[in-house]
Structure 1
């Protein structure tokens, strides 16, 4: 059980770009990072392109007004002059800014935590990978759902062979919160997501499915995607060429198959992410509306419900368990677990501790590049009329 005691010598001084008052994700980043004040302490921010709004928001968070900045370039330059300047930065901006801010942060000698999808092009990911290696810095990706304890239990059970050889992977992230097109023009967090210049070549494939695709990589690290076929739709016609619904079929190198349904127009559904991993002996099923329960179904036996925080779980599922059994967790526990791992990764990198980095499970730059490749290949397949394309 983890109760917030420090896992590194001291917390990282941390800044954030974007994530201001109108952001849909900024509060999650701040809560995740600062739930344990042993990992990160927020020192500086460029919350908003409107500087007056940035200052007002920062003051309402009890931040030092002198460390609220009009843009990320100014923040990086001014913080570099301080003995107590920031050591890591969070990028919580719309997609089109991720690459330039990430590159500038690494050049300023900062570790980076970035929203997903990481960038628009795989080549941009490879450029950042080279730069991060040169600078000796860590780049993390906020696949925010992936810190739930029972996902670690699933990973452990898959690797232990408890379900046999994986044959099928069934993924879904499909909600209905974009059924009303008026939000495309009125909601700050929605407007940029349906603008190709800011969101990139996709809507739900980048915004939703990258989460669940990474979670499948987390649970089944032995599976390597070989090919995929994507069919995407714009049911709200004004969103074209961006999709608000997509279906993806997958083929893995070991012969396993999979499918993904991503949608923002699944009217009325509040149960967004479902993951089912089918093996030759048994299956595992989890969904984020009931994150404290994992179904384990052995062929010919009654369904078993595994509950978070119980002693019968594997050690990997208990390491970051925070609340104890009977006390329900939520999304912020997942984000907090991720940020704790991010801090451990950054600290290990600073100390040259490659053994810790090798064994630490978190969404790193390689997974971010896989997410870029996933979106790119899905769009390629769909735009070619729904054909199979090679993943690598």
Structure 2
């Protein structure tokens, strides 16, 4: 059961870049970070418009003087304060992630960033180098991996319950953008603009979520080759894709496929992962995140539920159970579980407790880097006629 008595000596002083009024993802960040009392929001550069930033910040309880017109001023002014921010979350369009994360790390701040972390592997490696040099944490908000049943799946695979892993079938294929809705939706418009979004749309925006589920469940499994085919069914989105299929060969002989789409008309979310082994299979669907389907060859299908005593006593599968079995937990709980892990790691890093940092699971710089690496390889394959490429 979740330990609500876990407290830091002092909550981490936290600031935000982006995520202002009307931002759904900004609200999720704040709800998750503030839920357990491990962070205190004290500053923000929430909006490119200074007046909107100040108005929003004061309405959510911040001091007017700490609602900044831009992130550079926030970093500069907060560094002068004895009670300045220690951590910053970045919830902006992709274009700004690298420059903002780099500036924050160079200012001595721990960073929690939306994905994709940046545009290129070289940029991600630079961030990793700066973070390691300055003994700072980088967290990447792969928000679905805070769900407990993902970690139950990891433990089942680790313990050999599925046998040898043969097939990994991943999808994240919704239908909300099956028409050109970006004409009247600025929140989508930047996602389908290469200068703002980077080299991909759905591969980077939602595809890396599904891929990272597989990485969490099977950390030893590595891609050796892949083939990517991507399409722009809404022509105005080209060269960015709104649909893609990726085939993968893994280092243990397993194969995988990923379907990622924003034009799966009629679908709500459809983020699923099915892992097929030589003895059994498991399947998880994010619209029913409290359950894990477990199918042993020759036996009836089983539905495993979050919070029950028959689950493995994994660090995340049980200890992040917040309200006991039977009640439905959701995305806010998943994100809160991640922010709790960020807080533990950051507090340990500040205190020089390297062992706790190393033993605390959270989506870290390596998760962000590998997401960018996956995007680069997919683009390289797709731009070469959907050829098979060795994974670099």
The two structures have a TM-score, normalised by structure 1, of 0.98
Partner in structure 1 of residue 42 of structure 2: 43
1:10 deviation in Å?
A: 2.5
The within-5 A match list for 1:173-184 is 173-181=172-180, 183-184=181-182
Partner in structure 2 of residue 389 of structure 1: 389
Partner in structure 1 of residue 126 of structure 2: 127
Task: Answer whether contact 1:23 1:188 (CA < 8 A) is retained.
Answer: no
1:25 partner SS: helix
Task: Kindly indicate whether residue 350 of structure 2 is the aligned counterpart of residue 350 of structure 1.
Answer: yes
Partner in structure 2 of residue 214 of structure 1: 212
Task: Kindly indicate whether residue 62 of structure 2 is the aligned counterpart of residue 63 of structure 1.
Answer: yes
Task: Answer whether contact 1:175 1:271 (CA < 8 A) is retained.
Answer: yes
Task: Answer whether contact 2:3 2:319 (CA < 8 A) is retained.
Answer: no
Task: Answer whether contact 1:228 1:381 (CA < 8 A) is retained.
Answer: yes
Q: Deviations over 1:64-85 (max 9, x none)?
A: 1111000011001111111111
Partner in structure 2 of residue 244 of structure 1: 242
2:379 partner SS: helix
Q: State the distance in 2 between where 1:362 and 1:220 align.
A: 15
Task: Kindly indicate whether residue 106 of structure 2 is the aligned counterpart of residue 107 of structure 1.
Answer: yes
Task: Answer whether contact 1:95 1:198 (CA < 8 A) is retained.
Answer: yes
Partner in structure 1 of residue 143 of structure 2: 144
1:60 deviation in Å?
A: 1.6
Q: Deviations over 1:276-322 (max 9, x none)?
A: 01111101101011011111111100011100000111111101110
> Which blocks of at least 5 consecutive residues in structure 1 are unaligned?
none
Q: State the distance in 1 between where 2:349 and 2:388 align.
A: 39
2:24 partner SS: coil
Task: Answer whether contact 1:28 1:335 (CA < 8 A) is retained.
Answer: yes
Q: State the distance in 2 between where 1:315 and 1:36 align.
A: 22
Partner in structure 2 of residue 375 of structure 1: 375
- Equivalenced residue count is 390
> Which blocks of at least 5 consecutive residues in structure 2 are unaligned?
none
The within-5 A match list for 1:1-392 is 1-37=1-37, 39-181=38-180, 183-316=181-314, 317-392=317-392
Q: State the distance in 2 between where 1:168 and 1:11 align.
A: 43
The runs of at least 4 consecutive aligned structure 1 residues that moved more than 6 Å come to: none
1:7 deviation in Å?
A: 4.5
Task: Answer whether contact 2:345 2:356 (CA < 8 A) is retained.
Answer: yes
Q: State the distance in 2 between where 1:336 and 1:117 align.
A: 20
Q: State the distance in 2 between where 1:9 and 1:188 align.
A: 42
Q: State the distance in 1 between where 2:210 and 2:223 align.
A: 14
Task: Answer whether contact 1:24 1:189 (CA < 8 A) is retained.
Answer: no
Task: Answer whether contact 1:22 1:189 (CA < 8 A) is retained.
Answer: no
Q: Deviations over 1:104-124 (max 9, x none)?
A: 001111000000001000000
Q: State the distance in 2 between where 1:238 and 1:41 align.
A: 42
1:210 deviation in Å?
A: 0.7
The two structures have a TM-score, normalised by structure 2, of 0.98
Q: State the distance in 1 between where 2:250 and 2:320 align.
A: 30
Task: Answer whether contact 1:166 1:256 (CA < 8 A) is retained.
Answer: yes
1:249 partner SS: strand
1:310 partner SS: coil
1:3 deviation in Å?
A: 4.6
Q: State the distance in 2 between where 1:271 and 1:191 align.
A: 20
1:22 deviation in Å?
A: 3.3
Task: Answer whether contact 1:49 1:71 (CA < 8 A) is retained.
Answer: yes
